[in-house]
Chains A and B, each alone.
Chain A
Amino acid sequence: MIFDRFRILGWLIPVACCATSGWLVFQANLAFRNSNEVRNRAHIEAQQALQQRKLIDGLPTERRYATVVNSPTEDYSFATYFKQSAQACGVTLSNWTVQTTDMGKESASAKALNADPLMKGIEKIDTSVTLTGPYNRLRSLVSLLESSDRLFALSNLVWIRTPDGTSLTMSISRYVTPIKVPVAPVEIKQS
């Protein structure tokens, strides 16, 4: 048999080229499948995240809350609410004293209460009230305050029986967050 290098190379080169090309295309196909799978998985996870967000967005907001954003009408609103409640319960409001404590400041009372970082920067407004009236009505008013969606922390309770009925003195604490004022941009003048 005659050794013909053109014949041998004529077979070897196309076979090698076809095999190499086929292998490269096969690898590219594998990479394409892998990328497609990654993309599909990413889309599925994105859809799941969107559904989770919809689910969370659909959840009802917390009914009970501890703080409200401070506003100029905060005291007025609370006083109106309390007065109306007392009136509804048949209780007489005989004393009303308001004291504000900034939980973020370094005051002694604030320091004691400000251990928890959740309270930092929140203003505490204490209102000392004295109420008179029958026990049952006083209880109704206190119960109304405690079952309110907004948290009113009651403390310093003084319950005295008087010949006219019952006198109840207590401190009502409510909490407000300060209004965030946007910071104006600072202009830097270069000399």
Chain B
Amino acid sequence: MSRKETSLLGIDLHEGEIRVVQLKVRSNQSTVEKMGRASMPQGAINHGIISNPELVGNALRSLLDSMAVTATHAVIGLPNDGLSVRTFAVPPAPEGELRMIVEGEVNHHGLIRGVGGAFAFVKLNSDLQPDSNHAWSEDTKIWMDSKHGKVKPNLVTVFAVEQDSINALRDAMTVANLTIEAIEPASYSMYRAILNAEPPQTTFFTVMVSGASTDICVVDQGHLVAFRRIDIGARALAGDNLHSSEFAFAGVNLAAYADEPREAGTRISILNSSALETFSTEVHRTLYYYQREYPNLAMCEKVVLASDDSRLDMLSEELGKTLGFTVDTARPFSSLGDHSSFESSFADRFELVACTAIGLGLHGNILNRAPRIDLFASERNAVADIVSKRNFRGSILTSVMAVVLGIAGCSVYYSQIAKLDADAKNAQAQEQLVKSAIDIKVQERHKQADQYRAFRKLGIPVTAILDSIAGAVAPGTGLTSVNVTNNQAVVIDGEAVNEASMLNTVKALQDCPLLQDLRISWFRQSTNEKPNGPKTGAISFEFKGKTVTLDRIQQGEDKVS
């Protein structure tokens, strides 16, 4: 059975350095494959917003090449400086409609000032409700209603960012030749890394220090209950007032500072004492506030501190002293698989500032306990929508072309068919003409032949009759006349020396096929001789019969048909 393996890059673009972690997810267990860091080029980031995406992209590409990274999909952390965070109470609504309601709140409160922009939100655990009318979101009527038990509102923490920040990140990733899997707020990624490192069902506070601000999360039995930002961060705590763009210029090299070998007990705090006092007070007030607001909150077990600035490695100790209880430093590697292949000193130092990058890398693990949010989703969806519509237009164009080609093809075919039909009709008409001419000619010939046969019926075969009669005359017999009338009646007169001769002649004439029904009409013996008449004792006779018409004689022959 094959198991799906995916590698995802978590990229934290800190104002002082770039931190990259490549996590491999195998059987839903994340393992660090590669990790690395490099200084952020001077002028690349200004006020938490990438001002020169090309510089960032090139630096990131160089770092990835030096790490021999092969993964192409990355989750990018959005620095807190360019991010607005606010928690709202919204009316109860189905999950599918919640985003629309939150969008209305974002627009109403003007969290995004420019054109475009993006927001994402996490739903807080609504089983616990604050028990005070001093809540930070009491400006909504729904919150007041919830206090009286009328409704049970949804609490959402919204992260909003201007479009410029998204564009800059996108451009930088384009230069680095990476595909954006998601863009998450850096502090939220830090929270995910901490949450995954803690056992389930744990109740604790997280204090996540960034450059200009600190985010505090309340986690009740593994569920995020509250998210609050206070406006004091690493720069104030470290005692410098330099802005991010001035880090490298001022010679503050975070990577070098972090790599500097320092043993336990020999470390010297560089924290600004007044800033630390303010910070501790703010944190203490916040923790107290939440404990008061959530009386049903389980017993808080600990405070976990995380920072993306390596100079604050002693902050947990100092904060613990001020607050009066133990503050643990976040150890995000504890939730990951074996990372013994890395140099231990490098891994230990990197772990202190790698919460954001690891949290970003954990975005790809479906079992991570913090819900995924993506500030690039709307951009991606918009791009996908544009691509989809462009593809649709291409499809329509293809369809139109197919229809046009079909119509053109049919037109060409049918014009050719019309020509062929006309040609066929001409040929058929010509054939009919020729056949008519043939028929006329044949009829003429038949008529001529029929006419010839018809007129032959009107004549008698004279030659054949003469031959037949002349041939039938027996010796001792002579004919005096032969008369053939118009109705084929034959009368033969003659003389014979005796009866036998006459009878022989009759017999021969009766055998003649041209003569039919030949009978002796009369005969008599001559008693006295007359001049030019028959001699005494001779027999005169007359035969009568019928002959045939000329058409009974075959043409060219004298045979009766």
Binding site for B on A (CB under 8 A): 4, 6-7, 9-11, 13-14, 16-18, 20-22, 24-25, 28-29, 31-32, 35-36, 38-39, 42-43, 45-46, 49-50, 52-53, 56-57, 59, 62, 64-67, 113, 116, 118-119, 135, 138-139, 142-143, 146-147, 151-161, 163, 170, 173, 175
Instruction: Specify which of A32, A46, A142 is in contact with B427 (CB 8 Å cutoff).
Output: A46
Instruction: Specify which of B420, B454, B465, B486 is in contact with A119 (CB 8 Å cutoff).
Output: B454
What total of chain B residues lie within 8 Å of the partner, measured CB to CB? 69
Interface-forming stretch among B99-107, B341-349, B395-403? B395-403
User: Distance in Å from the Cβ of B462 to the closest Cβ of chain A?
Assistant: 5
The reply to whether the CB of B62 lies closer than 8 angstroms to some CB of chain A is: no
Interface of A is mostly: helix
B413–A31 touching, CB < 8 Å: yes
Instruction: Specify which of B391, B414, B421, B463 is in contact with A139 (CB 8 Å cutoff).
Output: B463
A74–B417 Cα distance when bound, in Å, is: 60
Contacts across chains A and B counted by CB atoms under 8 Å: 199
Query: Which residues of chain B are near A119, meaning CB under 8 Å?
Result: 451, 454-455
A14–B405 Cα distance when bound, in Å, is: 13
The reply to whether the CB of B460 lies closer than 8 angstroms to some CB of chain A is: yes
Interface-forming stretch among B225-233, B288-296, B473-481? B473-481
Query: Which residues of chain B are near A16, meaning CB under 8 Å?
Result: 399
Query: Which residues of chain B are near A154, meaning CB under 8 Å?
Result: 459-460, 462, 550
B470–A14 touching, CB < 8 Å: no
The reply to whether the CB of B252 lies closer than 8 angstroms to some CB of chain A is: no
A66–B424 touching, CB < 8 Å: no
Query: Which residues of chain A are near B454, meaning CB under 8 Å?
Result: 66, 116, 118-119
A17–B403 touching, CB < 8 Å: yes
A160–B351 Cα distance when bound, in Å, is: 160
> Are A35 and B417 also in contact (CB < 8 A) when A14-B402, A46-B431, A62-B445 are?
yes
Query: Which residues of chain B are near A65, meaning CB under 8 Å?
Result: 448, 452
Query: Which residues of chain B are near A157, meaning CB under 8 Å?
Result: 460, 462, 465, 482-484
Instruction: Specify which of A7, A11, A31, A170 is in contact with B462 (CB 8 Å cutoff).
Output: A170
> Are A160 and B391 also in contact (CB < 8 A) when A62-B448, A65-B452 are?
no
The reply to whether the CB of B434 lies closer than 8 angstroms to some CB of chain A is: yes
Pick the 9 closest A-B CB pairs, nearest first: A21-B406, A153-B459, A28-B413, A42-B427, A17-B399, A10-B395, A157-B484, A159-B482, A39-B424
A35–B424 touching, CB < 8 Å: yes
Chain B residue, CB-CB nearest to A11: B395
B413–A42 touching, CB < 8 Å: no
B 375-411 binary contact with A (CB < 8 Å = 1; else 0): 0000000000000110110111011101101110110
